[in-house]
Amino acid sequence: MALSAWSEAEPPKSRLSQKPVAQIHDILAESQCYSFEFFPPKTDEAAQQLESTLRELEPLNPGFVSVTYGAGGSTRERTHNLVLTINDGTTMTAMAHLTCAAHTRAELVEIVELYGSAGVENILALGGDPPKDDGLQRGELTYAFELVELIRSVGTFSIGVAAYPTPHPRARSHAEDRARTAEKLAQADFAVTQFFFEEEQYFELVGDLASRGVEKPVVPGIMPVLSLQATRRMAELQGSEFPERLLKQLTADGDDPAAIRAAGIAEATRLCTALLEAGAPGLHFYTLNGSTATREIVSRLEGPAES
């Protein structure tokens, strides 16, 4: 795969993969599946770690994997290169994240056309965070539904959007957030949620969307608690409350990191089981470019092999 040999100035020469690159809405229609999220590495060392992670997770036969897009397009080339490398160098199907923020309409069309010409068929359309650098433009598009419309005008992609089991931190109200989610998902093919801690939050989201006439697949996002401080910080950034119930459960044996991690894996496994049994279309793991926790959870979900 040679991820550590990447150069932003010289992206890998694209070739259409020998394997058929499936569209994600078709994959989700077939059966429940696992999927994984990665981010483009910044250093050779990080690239080597990601290469190991990809090889370790590939045998789990994920329905798809996704590659994040840095704020303001800061990882544009690296995201593109990683998506192509996964599609061409593994058995996995990659989805590219793309955001509106800090891009002109013409730039977005160019990016989407490049993906199409490279055989990429799946894009996650995101609004993106407004640029913090005053020197960057805000972008000609503001909302994800506008990006979905643009992608549709360029090619026949399978398009996903993000959904928040708890309201988006910039939403003015819970009702507005649900209305926005329904609006963009009505035009897209599926949604992937931000991580959450209580299955009832996911069921409420899906039920609310259905009441608005939107019944596209909504894949729940999973983030096991491996570090209490780090996970609470990430939850705060996405506007989620960390449940008191979960805090007490994780710290039942004190603040020992190993005990917290073990409890976090057990709780994530319980959450995944409840979601799958209730008919969720799959599970999307936020891997943070590691494989160990995801492999542990999947192993527990699948149980011992039959003799």
Q: For residue 157, how many other CB atoms are within 10 A of its CB? A: 23
Contact between 165 and 192 under an 8 Å Cβ cutoff? The reply is no
- Helices and strands counted in the chain (H then E): 11, 8
> How many angstroms separate the CA atoms of 191 and 292, rounded?
26
Measured CA angle at 300 (ends 294, 301), to 5 deg: 90
> How many angstroms separate the CA atoms of 184 and 218, rounded?
12
Backbone φ, ψ for residue 236 (5° rounding): -60, -40
- Residue 45: is it exposed, middle or buried by C-beta count within 10 angstroms (0-12/13-18/19+)? exposed
Cα-based distances in Å from 15 to 18, 24, 95, 299: 9, 20, 17, 34
Structure tokens at 74: 């800061």
Q: Choosing from 37, 121, 146, 199, which is the catalytic residue?
A: 37
Residue indicated by tokens 């359309």: 125
Structure tokens at 124: 């996650």
Closest CA to 39 of 92, 112, 96: 96
> How many angstroms separate the CA atoms of 47 and 52, rounded?
9
> How many angstroms separate the CA atoms of 285 and 192, rounded?
10
Closest CA to 151 of 100, 101, 198, 186: 100
Is 302 assigned a catalytic role?
no
Instruction: Tell me which residues are annotated as active site.
Output: 37
